[in-house]
Amino acid sequence: MPSPSPRELTLALNAAPAVPRAAACLLAGCLDAWMDAVAGEAPALARDLGVSRRALSAALALRGRAAQLAGQEVDAAAREGARLLVRGDADYPPPLLHLSLPPPALYCLGELAPGPAVAVVGSRRAES
């Protein structure tokens, strides 16, 4: 099975309900540290990365279907007229990288302004 690309894995992390939001943000920022790990390394690696073993195990389990999940996310965004930006993309807003937990992916309608801008932020799982 081929390894997913960093972009695919980032989009899969962003979409995975089994990976808590904070863990998805942290793991998206250090893909190289874990994306090729084996399950037996998870306990020590989770501690080193600052995420729970459960979150890391869920992220490791995504690797086999990351391309499929990423494709679904890209298709869903396109149906709404949006595009997806992930950390590492040239047009990902640099100021967001200074946040303690930069979002792994952004759904973007239109073009990003090069200067000051306003953004609308929504919950991944809205609850009433």
**Tens digits of residue pLDDT in 25-77:** 999 999 999 999 987 888 899 999 999 999 999 999 999 999 999 999 999 99
HSE, side-chain direction, 13 A CA sphere, residue 69? 21
Whole-number pLDDT of residue 122: 66
Residues 7 and 45: their CA atoms lie apart, in Å, by: 21
Residues 101 and 114: their CA atoms lie apart, in Å, by: 22
Residues 62 and 19: their CA atoms lie apart, in Å, by: 10
Whole-number pLDDT of residue 2: 73
Q: Is 96 helix (H, G, I), strand (E, B) or coil?
A: helix
